[in-house]
């Protein structure tokens, strides 16, 4: 039953993840008083992109072509690990979140070098910023998971999330709130959302993620965008697991609750994007350091 | 006997002060002759009569080497190098005498813990000998004329020899004579060196001899 | 049998070094002889060591040797065997690489001497891990230092090389002095300095540990004793850099482990010390690496980083042993040791790559390179694998060893505890590893992106060409090994399990090892799946593109019409934001000349990062000592009078004070 | 006959003064060296040690120092013959200031060398403190002319300083002898065996005073700080082979004097008193030497300060005693041979580059490869790097220290050794490697010529010995050192 739920969850993840982007855009449109694009627009985009041919820079090499493929594959591997609330991921072992973090690191690495393969100064700039922010975000993620590990005495992601309801961390306790905040920060950073990055900006000099994929087109871009939506789903799932620690014991119910939660996170992101302006680039590290500090505070709290 | 010993020892101390106080090279050399006399005299005064012939021989030898040959050598060197007077000394003459007094005091101080059965004749012998040694060092330290420094060495050697003289009765005399020979050769070699220096530098001011340094 | 093989290996190497001296100063024969003997020696040594690791037994040889306190006492146990394999593997490949690499120096340099020292370096490293006698160890240790010193001085006409050699020699010797002290303390009242006769004097364990830390740390490159490393490693020819960075500094790790074993039961603070040193070395190493412009210097700093990671693993080991937590101990030790092997593999691969780049382009300054991937495809591919491996990215070998350390750290963290408990140690290890991982990824994105991708930034890289076959062979082999270990983690664990069994000596090792194996199988599975998914997507992409119009054109220039190669992002600009975040630690210097006037002629900006430990710690100490010495020099001011005064004062003082 | 070991060089030396033929004179030098070596070997092979009355005799310690002297002299003699053949009579250009000077007469030089050997042998075989003193003084007097063989104002200055300071020192040592006589109430002969067997009856206060004076006196000659001041000047200005002898043989002789005094005090139960003083002065010498080696601009002076350092090490080892004492004896051998080789090499470098300034010397490894390699190896050896023999002696001394629980002394010893290594590396490495930094006109004919065999032979022989001794010290040799370090008078 559990495994079946896991498979269902995986299946739903693969299908539903582009929807998150749609929801975010719709929410933003709502806030802006526009009608906005269809909820399924990201799917249309993906299909359209798949049908396109390619234009490659003469500077670029196999690195540029391999980047999106590897990036997407690594995200997919990470998805296998992520639990859905109390329902474990398909792949689960002690320390699996380290593997997940590093697989995401692989995604970032190949995206960055693919960007640098074009020789474009703008893409180099974006790559530079991407790695800069990721450095702290990764530590925040790991420390946040350490807090949860301490609380649950588990060292696999599925174990941790399964244990969140029954074990010592009370869902309303200060620690989980802090970790949730930290994870939200990581989510916004890793997925290039406002206030870290504005996916809709039109000035290359201010972009981070978007500028890295300036030269990508066609099926490559489709891979990248699909990968991005999966990554958003992944972080949302991590967040929801803490924020809604509902463990009914009925795996399917858990999965569904969790998915609803993830969609709610998308709305939340949309609201944040509507309410906040993008931070100055120089201030992004400060925000991350704040997240890091509160995580360390949470650690101290729990270690006491 | 004891009186005579003390008189000669006092003479030794007084000559030391004279050495410290004088600026003329000729006077300095002359004073060493007095020292040689004092040395060989109290060497005899300390032994019981009749004096052993070997001791007499040693006393005479001392007088000859330290009182005759070496002064002659030094005077000769003085003439050759044309250095009559001490150049501006590093420590002035009156200051030297004052330092001398301090050194004399220290010499007495040093021998407080050192008691000996030898030469009980004079409580002054050992401090005086040490004082002479220190005077020699003082002369080397405070004077700039290379020849004066050689004399300083000789004086120092006299002081050391005075200790030996105190022991001369028992110590194998052969070594005493070896010592004497060595002093003679040392002064001789130094004299040659001073002579060569005066040829090379046209004078024997040791300020010129301070090129090698770090 | 085992010892016969080892002796044969040493003999072949020494014979090789002797032959090389006489094989003609410039000829190909020196290279050939040197490489053949190195490879033969390596095969013999690996055969012996492999048997030991397989059987888990120990083999030794004790021959009396007429030297005070000395004996020719060598032995191979699993710990030695593991290091022998690492050393031999890298040295053999370096020798093969060197045959082609040294060609450019033919006729200009005495290659015979270089190969002689290379073989000596190899032999002395083997002897270091073999020897079980203090004197023999010290001689081997010095042989290692000196032969590598001569290799560092290979291009001694360059001033910076001479400076590097000097600093290296000093560091080596300071370490050696600590080791002398250490061994003799351990020797106690014994007439022999054989390891098995060592006893820890009562109450001296702490001093011994600190001495070992200083002595071996200077070789391994623990911060702040790493200052020689970023100078010396780049100065040597690249295959030597690979050996130095890949395995020679690991002898420091070996020594530390060996001595800790000999001292006896570790105290808890030893583990903490190693952990903190490891964390600091790791973070500082990678930060400084990020700030470098010279590719080999950058790699050298990465060695400091990786030594830090290894050191953290060892720290967890000692912590685990001292709190009687065999799981933590085993995982820390296995992770640390496996990282020794892994780092040896990818670091020598990267140094080979850097050497090839320098060989092909004539420069090591990354801001002058670019676009090499098209000109040196195979080098680039292997370099990319090495770069990903050193960042610890799955599914490559770097991840496996770092993962073991993570696993140990998280294991102890999840056990919870209070502040000051070992859980904090786990947290430190974990957080530092995370930070190091991110920084390393940034750094290698920079190296690979700037050097191999984009367009050439200067004539040097535009003219570059692929390197000769022996060099490619060495690099490809290493890259393949990186992938194999990455995908077959459980097999790699088998290499270090006998060592862990020897060191921790507990049935728990097998249990933990089996547990780790199980997890690593899943990681291998994930890695395999990753590759399969990637294959599927690549296929999908090919199918989709096959039916479409595929064209090429210039890079999208965002509307600017006259881009040129010099407008590409540079290594310095890529790294600057990260460096900026940590400038309170790294203290980079920015040299800016802004434009002036209505018609600006010239503007420039450049960055430069000194090693702060060198600048703010060692340089002031050296200056202080030097100034003090200059002051003392005045004592010898030339006048005899003063000199005699010294004598007189000495006499007076002694007589007045000492006669009582 | 034991005394022949003194008399034959003496006779040959006097003969050299009167012989006119250059060839025969130089032959005399070689004959002297070889015959001395043979006689020493014969003495060494005799199972029973010789005594000849109360004055002379050869104990293990004496034999050790005699052997060192003999071996080094042989190497130096061969070098000297070649050296004199190269520039004995021609006018030589001074390397520092560029004026021409003439060397002193070769006859005097060779005679003094042989007399020097004779007097040093006398030091080694004397069994009487008085005779020992006479012999040490004699070494000063006959070696003085050697220092100013290159007869110019700097060498004269060095000779003057050497003479004056050493004479003062020796006078102080004489004082020490007399004090020792006083300790025996004026009734004990200063014969060593007498002193040691009757040590219990000696007056302790006087004995202490005697030791102080002997320490200062022979310490001056040995180059112990702060009485070392003559040493760098004399070593840097004298011809290289003379420096080698001064450093490798003469300093040892003075050390032997201190050793004898120390053994008397040990026998009298004052071993810790004299030992502590030796430790203090040893450390002090090492520290002072280290300070002067930092940024030393003259490489011969650097070697001279290194000698001071090593004398300090030997004093330290002797002071600690036990195993460290054995180490000190071993170190005497190692230091002499290594330093002798280094001075010979420095002579070759000086000849090639015409400068004693380290800054003028670059890339020796290319210009004169053998000298370059030996210079580098010598540097490593003298700073105690394995596998050269000084390493073994230094580590023996260290072990001796730690076995007697002197942790802080050991730590200080290692720190100073470290500083010295750094300082010397700073000087030696740029000399051996690299390219000339500034153009200095020097005689191009000197460059790229093959190193002459009379240089290569002795230097390489010495290097081979220190390498072999670094890897192999047979048990009986080791016992020999242990015996030599014994405080019992050595028989």
- Model confidence pLDDT, tens digit, residues A23-49: 999 999 999 999 888 999 999 999 999
The DSSP code for A84 is: B
- Give the CA distances from residue A289 to residues A294, A295, C376, in Å, rounded to whole numbers and listed in that order: 9, 10, 41
The reply to whether D396 touches chain C by the CB within 8 Å rule is yes
**Closest to D178 (Cβ–Cβ): which among B113, B164, B196?**
B164
Whether residues B141 and C644 touch (CB distance < 8 A) is answered with yes
Nearest residue to D261 (alpha-carbon basis) of D171, D192, D168, D333: D192
The reply to whether C143 touches chain D by the CB within 8 Å rule is yes
**Closest to D182 (Cβ–Cβ): which among B116, B149, B200?**
B116
Which residues of chain B are within 8 Å of residue D236 when distances are taken between CB atoms?
212
pLDDT at position C409: 93
The reply to whether C289 touches chain A by the CB within 8 Å rule is no
pLDDT in tens, D131-165: 999 999 999 999 999 998 888 888 999 999 999 99
Integer Cα distance of C413 and C407 in angstroms: 10
Integer Cα distance of C563 and C75 in angstroms: 63
Non-local (6+) Cβ contacts of D437 within 8 A are: D359, D362
The ipTM, to two decimals, is: 0.92
From the candidates B112, B158, B189, B194, which should be mutated to test the interface with D, based on the most D CB atoms within 10 A?
B189
H or E element in which residue D406 lies: none
pLDDT in tens, C154-196: 998 888 899 999 999 999 999 999 999 999 999 988 888 999 9
The reply to whether D474 touches chain C by the CB within 8 Å rule is yes
Integer Cα distance of D27 and D80 in angstroms: 11
- The token duo for D43 is 């003495």
Which residues of chain C are within 8 Å of residue B206 when distances are taken between CB atoms?
639-641
pLDDT at position D437: 57
Mean pLDDT value across residues D242-264 = 95
Strands D51-52 and C550-553: unpaired
H or E element in which residue C557 lies: none
* Cβ neighbours of C242 (radius 10 Å): 33
- Give the CA distances from residue C36 to residues C90, C99, C267, in Å, rounded to whole numbers and listed in that order: 14, 10, 46
Integer Cα distance of C650 and C654 in angstroms: 6
Integer Cα distance of C209 and C218 in angstroms: 14
**Closest to A94 (Cβ–Cβ): which among C407, C419, C552?**
C407
Which residues of chain B are within 8 Å of residue D153 when distances are taken between CB atoms?
200-201, 211
Whether residues B214 and D232 touch (CB distance < 8 A) is answered with yes
My answer on whether omega of the bond before B50 falls inside 30° of 0, hence cis, is yes
Which residues of chain A are within 8 Å of residue C418 when distances are taken between CB atoms?
303-304
Mean pLDDT value across residues C634-641 = 90
In this predicted structure, the answer to whether residue B213 has a pLDDT above a threshold of 90 is no
Strands D92-93 and D100-101: antiparallel
Cβ-based burial of B88 (10 A; exposed 0-12, middle 13-18, buried ≥19): exposed
Contact between C49 and C42 under an 8 Å Cβ cutoff? The reply is no
Torsion of CA D423, D427, D430, D436, to 10 degrees: 150
Instruction: Please name the residue of chain D whose CA is at the shortest distance from the CA of residue C178.
Output: D414
* Cβ neighbours of D479 (radius 10 Å): 12
pLDDT at position C604: 82
In the complex, which subunits touch B with 3 or more CB pairs below 8 angstroms? C, D
**Banded pLDDT at D104 (limits 50, 70, 90):** confident
Mean pLDDT value across residues B53-61 = 86
**Banded pLDDT at C422 (limits 50, 70, 90):** confident
pLDDT in tens, B171-186: 566 677 778 888 888 8
Integer Cα distance of D461 and D471 in angstroms: 16
pLDDT at position D491: 43
* Cβ neighbours of B21 (radius 10 Å): 14
Whether residues C431 and A143 touch (CB distance < 8 A) is answered with yes
pLDDT in tens, B10-35: 999 999 999 999 888 889 999 999 99
Q: Enumerate the β-bridge partners of residue C525.
A: none
Whether residues B113 and D205 touch (CB distance < 8 A) is answered with yes
The DSSP code for B65 is: I
Contact between C331 and C411 under an 8 Å Cβ cutoff? The reply is yes
Whether residues C644 and B137 touch (CB distance < 8 A) is answered with yes
Contact between D390 and D306 under an 8 Å Cβ cutoff? The reply is no
pLDDT in tens, D302-347: 999 999 999 999 999 999 988 999 999 999 999 999 999 999 999 9
pLDDT at position C25: 60
**Banded pLDDT at A195 (limits 50, 70, 90):** confident
Give chain D's end-to-end CA distance (angstroms, integer).
18
Contact between D147 and D238 under an 8 Å Cβ cutoff? The reply is yes
Instruction: Tally helices (H) and strands (E) across chain B.
Output: 8, 0
pLDDT at position C252: 96
In this predicted structure, the answer to whether residue D489 has a pLDDT above a threshold of 50 is no
Integer Cα distance of C183 and C259 in angstroms: 9
Mean pLDDT value across residues C101-112 = 86
Instruction: Please name the residue of chain B whose CA is at the shortest distance from the CA of residue C644.
Output: B141
Integer Cα distance of C179 and C135 in angstroms: 10
From the candidates B129, B150, B213, which should be mutated to test the interface with C, based on the most C CB atoms within 10 A?
B213
Torsion of CA C553, C558, C562, C567, to 10 degrees: -100
Tokens 């906040």, residue? A276
Minimal CA separation from C660 to chain B, in Å = 6
Contact between A102 and C399 under an 8 Å Cβ cutoff? The reply is yes
In the complex, which subunits touch D with 3 or more CB pairs below 8 angstroms? B, C
Whether residues C545 and A219 touch (CB distance < 8 A) is answered with yes
Q: Supply the pTM of this predicted model.
A: 0.94
Can you say whether the dihedral through the CA atoms of A148, A154, A160, A166 is positive or negative? Answer: negative
The string of DSSP letters for D280-294 reads HHHHHHHHHHHHHHT
Whether residues B133 and D296 touch (CB distance < 8 A) is answered with no
The reply to whether D291 touches chain B by the CB within 8 Å rule is no
For chains B and C, having 3+ Cβ pairs within 8 Å is answered yes
The string of DSSP letters for C526-539 reads HHHHHHHHHHHHHH
The reply to whether D153 touches chain B by the CB within 8 Å rule is yes
Whether residues A56 and C551 touch (CB distance < 8 A) is answered with yes
pLDDT in tens, D365-414: 888 889 999 999 999 999 999 899 999 999 999 999 999 989 999 999 99
**Closest to D163 (Cβ–Cβ): which among B114, B178, B193?**
B193
Query: Percent of chain D at pLDDT above 90?
Result: 67
Mean pLDDT value across residues D199-212 = 91
Whether residues B113 and C636 touch (CB distance < 8 A) is answered with no
pLDDT at position B203: 77
The most distant pair of C-alpha atoms in chain D lies apart, rounded to whole Å, by 68
In this predicted structure, the answer to whether residue A204 has a pLDDT above a threshold of 80 is no
Cβ-based burial of D23 (10 A; exposed 0-12, middle 13-18, buried ≥19): exposed
H or E element in which residue C551 lies: strand C550-553
Non-local (6+) Cβ contacts of D40 within 8 A are: D5, D63, D66, D67, D70
- The angle formed by the CA atoms of residues D383, D386 and D390, to the nearest 5 degrees, is 50
Mean pLDDT value across residues C132-138 = 95
Contact map slice: C 65-94 vs D, CB within 8 A: 65-69
Whether residues D164 and C173 touch (CB distance < 8 A) is answered with no
My answer on whether omega of the bond before B81 falls inside 30° of 0, hence cis, is no
- Give the CA distances from residue B67 to residues B34, B139, B161, in Å, rounded to whole numbers and listed in that order: 7, 19, 13
Mean pLDDT value across residues D83-96 = 70
Helix ranges (DSSP H) in chain A = 2-32, 41-51, 62-81, 96-116, 121-152, 157-163, 174-190, 209-212, 218-243, 251-275, 284-303
Contact between B124 and B10 under an 8 Å Cβ cutoff? The reply is yes
**Closest to C445 (Cβ–Cβ): which among A66, A76, A109?**
A109
B25 Cα distance to chain centroid = 14
Q: Enumerate the β-bridge partners of residue C622.
A: none
Strands A54-57 and C550-553: parallel
Integer Cα distance of B202 and B209 in angstroms: 12
From the candidates B147, B148, B167, which should be mutated to test the interface with D, based on the most D CB atoms within 10 A?
B167
From the candidates D385, D406, D420, which should be mutated to test the interface with C, based on the most C CB atoms within 10 A?
D385
Tokens 């002076």, residue? D301
Mean pLDDT value across residues D124-136 = 91
Whether residues C438 and A105 touch (CB distance < 8 A) is answered with yes
Nearest residue to B167 (alpha-carbon basis) of B58, B70, B60: B58
Integer Cα distance of D312 and D258 in angstroms: 12
Non-local (6+) Cβ contacts of D166 within 8 A are: D140, D220, D221, D230
Contact between D235 and D243 under an 8 Å Cβ cutoff? The reply is yes
Integer Cα distance of A77 and D229 in angstroms: 77
pLDDT at position D197: 87
Helix (H, G, I), strand (E, B) or coil at A87: strand
């Amino acid at each position: 039953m559990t495994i079946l739920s896991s498979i269902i969850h995986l299946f739903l993840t693969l299908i539903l993840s582009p929807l998150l982007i749609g929801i975010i855009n719709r929410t933003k449109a709502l806030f802006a008083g526009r009608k906005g694009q269809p909820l399924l627009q990201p799917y249309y985009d993906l299909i359209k992109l798949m049908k396109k041919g390619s234009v490659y820079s003469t500077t670029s090499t196999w690195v540029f072509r391999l980047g999106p493929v590897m990036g997407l594959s690594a995200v997919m591997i990470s998805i296998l690990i992520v639990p859905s609330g109390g329902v474990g991921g398909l792949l689960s072992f002690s320390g699996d979140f380290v593997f997940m973090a590093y697989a995401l690191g692989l995604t970032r690495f190949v995206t960055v070098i693919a960007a640098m393969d074009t020789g474009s100064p703008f893409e180099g700039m974006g790559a530079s910023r991407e790695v800069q922010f990721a450095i702290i975000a990764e530590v925040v993620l790991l420390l946040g998971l350490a807090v949860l590990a301490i609380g649950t005495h588990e060292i696999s992601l599925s174990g941790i999330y399964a244990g969140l309801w029954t074990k010592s961390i009370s869902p309303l306790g200060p620690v989980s709130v802090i970790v949730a905040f930290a994870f939200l920060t990581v989510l916004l950073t890793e997925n290039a959302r406002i206030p870290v990055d504005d996916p809709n900006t039109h000035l290359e000099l201010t972009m981070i993620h978007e500028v890295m994929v300036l030269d990508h087109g066609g099926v490559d871009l489709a891979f990248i965008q699909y990968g991005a939506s999966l990554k958003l789903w992944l972080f949302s799932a991590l967040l929801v697991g803490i924020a809604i620690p509902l463990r009914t014991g009925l795996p399917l119910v858990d999965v569904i609750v969790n998915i609803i939660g993830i969609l709610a996170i998308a709305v939340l992101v949309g609201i944040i994007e509507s309410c906040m302006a993008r931070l100055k680039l120089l201030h992004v590290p400060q925000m991350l350091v704040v997240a890091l500090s509160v995580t360390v505070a949470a650690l101290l709290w729990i270690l006491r | 006997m004891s009186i005579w010993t003390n008189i000669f020892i006092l003479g030794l101390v007084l000559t030391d002060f004279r050495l410290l106080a004088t600026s003329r090279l000729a006077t300095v050399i002359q004073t060493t002759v007095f020292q040689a006399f004092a040395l060989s005299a109290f060497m005899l005064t300390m032994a019981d009569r009749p004096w052993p012939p070997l001791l007499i021989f040693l006393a005479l030898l001392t007088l000859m080497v330290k009182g005759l040959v070496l002064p002659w050598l030094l005077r000769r060197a003085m003439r050759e190098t044309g250095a009559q007077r001490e150049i501006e000394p590093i420590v002035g003459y009156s200051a030297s005498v004052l330092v001398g007094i301090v050194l004399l005091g220290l010499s007495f101080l040093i021998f407080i813990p050192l008691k000996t059965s030898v030469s009980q004749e004079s409580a002054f012998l050992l401090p005086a000998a040490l004082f002479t040694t220190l005077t020699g060092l003082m002369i080397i330290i405070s004077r700039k004329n290379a020849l004066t420094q050689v004399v300083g060495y000789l004086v120092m050697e006299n002081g050391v020899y005075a200790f030996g003289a105190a022991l001369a009765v028992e110590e194998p005399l052969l070594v005493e004579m070896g010592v004497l020979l060595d002093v003679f050769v040392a002064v001789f070699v130094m004299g040659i060196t001073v002579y060569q220096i005066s040829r090379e530098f046209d004078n024997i001011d040791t300020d010129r001899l301070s090129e090698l340094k770090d | 049998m085992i010892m016969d093989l080892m002796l044969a290996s040493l003999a072949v190497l020494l014979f090789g070094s002797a032959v090389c001296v006489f094989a003609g100063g410039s000829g190909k024969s020196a290279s050939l002889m040197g490489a053949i003997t190195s490879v033969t020696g390596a095969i013999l040594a690996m055969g012996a060591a492999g048997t030991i690791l397989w059987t888990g037994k120990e083999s030794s040889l004790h021959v009396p040797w007429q030297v005070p306190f000395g004996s020719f006492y060598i032995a191979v146990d699993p710990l030695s065997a593991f290091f022998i394999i690492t050393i031999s593997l890298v040295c053999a490949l370096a020798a093969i690489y060197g045959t082609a690499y040294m060609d450019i120096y033919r006729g200009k340099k005495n290659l015979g001497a270089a190969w002689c020292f290379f073989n000596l370096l190899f032999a002395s490293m083997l002897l270091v891990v073999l020897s079980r006698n203090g004197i023999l160890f010290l001689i081997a240790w010095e042989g290692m230092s000196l032969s590598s010193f001569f290799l560092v001085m290979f291009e001694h006409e360059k001033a910076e090389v001479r400076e590097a050699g000097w600093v290296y020699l000093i560091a080596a010797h300071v370490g050696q002095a600590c080791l002398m002290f250490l061994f003799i303390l351990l020797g106690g009242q014994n007439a022999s300095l054989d390891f098995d006769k060592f006893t820890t004097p009562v109450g001296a364990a702490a001093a011994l540990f600190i001495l070992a830390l200083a002595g071996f740390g200077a070789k391994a490159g623990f911060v702040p004793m790493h200052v020689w490393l970023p100078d010396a490693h780049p100065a040597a020819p690249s295959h030597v850099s690979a050996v130095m960075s890949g395995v020679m500094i690991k002898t420091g790790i070996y020594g530390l482990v060996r001595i800790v074993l000999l001292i006896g039961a570790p105290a808890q603070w030893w583990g903490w010390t190693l952990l903190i040193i490891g964390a600091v070395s790791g973070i500082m190493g990678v930060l400084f690496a990020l700030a470098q412009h010279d590719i080999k210097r950058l790699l050298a700093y990465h060695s400091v980083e990786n030594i830090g990671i290894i050191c953290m693993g060892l720290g967890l080991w000692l912590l685990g042993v001292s709190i009687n937590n065999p799981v933590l101990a085993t995982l820390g030790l296995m992770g640390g040791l496996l990282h020794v092997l892994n780092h040896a593999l990818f670091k020598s691969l990267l140094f080979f790559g850097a050497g090839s780049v320098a060989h092909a382009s004539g420069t090591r300054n990354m801001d002058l390179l670019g676009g090499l991937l098209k000109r040196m495809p195979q080098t680039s591919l292997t370099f990319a694998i090495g770069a990903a491996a050193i960042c610890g990215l799955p599914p490559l070998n770097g991840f496996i060893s770092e993962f073991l350390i993570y696993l140990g750290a998280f294991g102890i963290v999840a056990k919870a505890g209070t502040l000051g408990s070992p859980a904090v140690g786990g947290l430190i290890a974990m957080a530092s590893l995370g930070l190091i991982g991110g920084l390393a990824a940034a750094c290698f994105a920079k190296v690979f992106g700037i050097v191999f991708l984009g367009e050439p930034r200067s004539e040097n890289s535009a003219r570059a060409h692929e390197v000769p076959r022996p060099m490619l062979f060495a690099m490809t082999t290493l890259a393949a090994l990186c992938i194999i270990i990455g995908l077959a983690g459980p097999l790699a664990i088998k290499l270090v399990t006998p060592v862990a069994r020897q060191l921790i000596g507990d049935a728990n090792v097998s249990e933990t090892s089996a547990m780790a194996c199980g997890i690593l199988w899943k990681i291998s599975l994930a890695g395999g799946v990753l590759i399969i998914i990637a294959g599927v997507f690549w296929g999908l992409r090919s199918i989709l593109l096959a039916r479409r119009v595929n064209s090429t054109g210039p890079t999208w220039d965002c509307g600017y019409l006259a881009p040129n190669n010099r407008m590409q992002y540079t290594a310095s600009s890529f790294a600057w934001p990260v460096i900026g975040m940590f400038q309170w630690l790294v203290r980079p210097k920015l040299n800016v000349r802004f434009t002036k006037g209505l018609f600006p002629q010239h503007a420039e900006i450049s960055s430069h990062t000194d090693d702060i430990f060198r600048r703010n710690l060692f340089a002031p100490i050296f200056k202080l000592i030097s100034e003090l010495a200059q002051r003392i020099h005045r004592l010898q001011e030339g006048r005899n009078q003063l000199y005699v005064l010294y004598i007189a004062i000495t006499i007076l003082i002694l007589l007045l004070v000492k006669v009582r | 006959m034991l005394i022949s070991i003194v008399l034959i060089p003496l006779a040959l030396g006097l003969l050299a003064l009167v012989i006119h033929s250059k060839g025969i004179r130089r032959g005399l030098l070689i004959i002297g060296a070889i015959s001395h070596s043979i006689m020493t070997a014969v003495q060494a092979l005799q199972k029973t040690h010789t005594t000849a009355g109360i004055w002379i005799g050869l104990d293990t310690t004496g034999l050790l120092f005699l052997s060192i002297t003999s071996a080094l002299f042989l190497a130096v003699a061969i070098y000297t013959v070649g050296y004199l053949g190269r520039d004995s009579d021609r006018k030589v250009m001074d390397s520092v200031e560029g004026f021409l000077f003439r060397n002193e007469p070769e006859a005097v030089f060779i005679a003094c060398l042989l007399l020097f050997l004779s007097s040093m042998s006398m030091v080694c075989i004397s069994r009487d403190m008085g005779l020992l003193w006479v012999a040490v003084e004699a070494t000063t007097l006959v070696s003085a002319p050697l220092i100013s063989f290159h007869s110019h104002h700097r060498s004269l200055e060095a000779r003057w300083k050497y003479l004056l300071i050493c004479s003062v020192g020796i006078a102080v040592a004489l004082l020490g002898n007399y004090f020792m006589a006083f300790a025996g109430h004026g009734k004990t002969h200063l014969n060593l065996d007498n002193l040691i067997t009757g040590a219990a009856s000696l007056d302790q206060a006087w004995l202490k005073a005697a030791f102080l004076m002997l320490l200062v006196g022979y310490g001056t000659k040995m180059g112990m700080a702060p009485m070392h001041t003559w040493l760098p000047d004399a070593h840097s200005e004298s011809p290289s082979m003379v420096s080698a002898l001064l450093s490798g043989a003469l300093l040892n002789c003075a050390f032997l004097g201190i050793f004898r005094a120390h053994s008397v005090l040990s026998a009298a139960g004052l071993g810790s008193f004299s030992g502590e003083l030796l430790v203090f002065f040893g450390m002090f010498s090492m520290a002072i030497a280290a300070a002067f080696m930092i940024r030393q601009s003259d490489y011969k002076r650097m070697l001279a300060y290194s000698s001071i350092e090593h004398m300090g090490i030997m004093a330290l080892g002797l002071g600690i005693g036990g195993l460290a004492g054995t180490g000190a004896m071993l170190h005497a051998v190692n230091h002499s041979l290594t330093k002798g080789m280094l001075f010979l090499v420095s002579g070759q470098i000086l000849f090639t580059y015409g400068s004693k300034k380290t800054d003028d010397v670059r890339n020796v490894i290319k210009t004169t490869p053998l000298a370059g390699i030996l210079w580098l190896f010598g540097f490593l050896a003298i700073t105690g790097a394995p596998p050269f023999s000084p390493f073994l002696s230094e580590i023996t001394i260290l072990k001796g220290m730690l076995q007697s629980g002197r942790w802080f002394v050991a730590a200080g010893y290692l720190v100073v050794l470290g500083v010295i290594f750094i300082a010397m590396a700073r000087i030696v490495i740029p000399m051996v490697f690299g390219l000339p930094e500034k153009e200095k006109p020097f005689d191009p004919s000197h460059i790229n010529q093959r190193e002459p065999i009379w240089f290569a032979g002795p230097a390489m022989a010495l290097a081979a010995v220190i390498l072999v001794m670094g890897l192999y010290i047979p048990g009986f040799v080791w016992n020999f050192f242990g015996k030599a370090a014994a405080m019992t008078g050595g028989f």
